[in-house]
Amino acid sequence: MKDRPRLTAALTALAAIIYGVSPIDVIPDVLAPFGLADDALVLVAAGYTIYRVLRRRAMTQRQGAPGGEQPRSRRHDAAADDEIIVERID
């Protein structure tokens, strides 16, 4: 399914917003700092999840596109960069 990552991101955002405005919480909002902290934690976790889902989607699209730039790996080879720079200078 092509739009599954977008659907996942949208449903995650919707669930986080509903939890944030819902009067039913894990920790009641009456306990001010703690009650608001669980809402903030849910919103931050949802934001991070959405970021990861959409980033993975972008990486997949970039790899699959003809002539598209291949993403760099997390482990970066500094020696390979030095060789590229030397080739450009020569």
- Whether the CB-CB separation of 53 and 8 falls below 8 Å is answered with yes
Q: For residue 36, which of 28, 44, 45 has the smallest C-alpha distance?
A: 28
User: pLDDT value at position 75?
Assistant: 52
State the pLDDT at residue 46.
Answer: 95
Q: Output the pLDDT for position 68.
A: 46
Condensed to tens digits (0 to 9), the pLDDT of residues 16-70 reads 999 888 888 888 877 878 888 888 899 999 999 999 999 998 888 888 755 444 4
CA-angle at 82, arms to 75 and 60, nearest 5°: 35
pLDDT at 11: 94
Q: What span, in angstroms and rounded, lies between the C-alpha atoms of 29 and 34?
A: 7
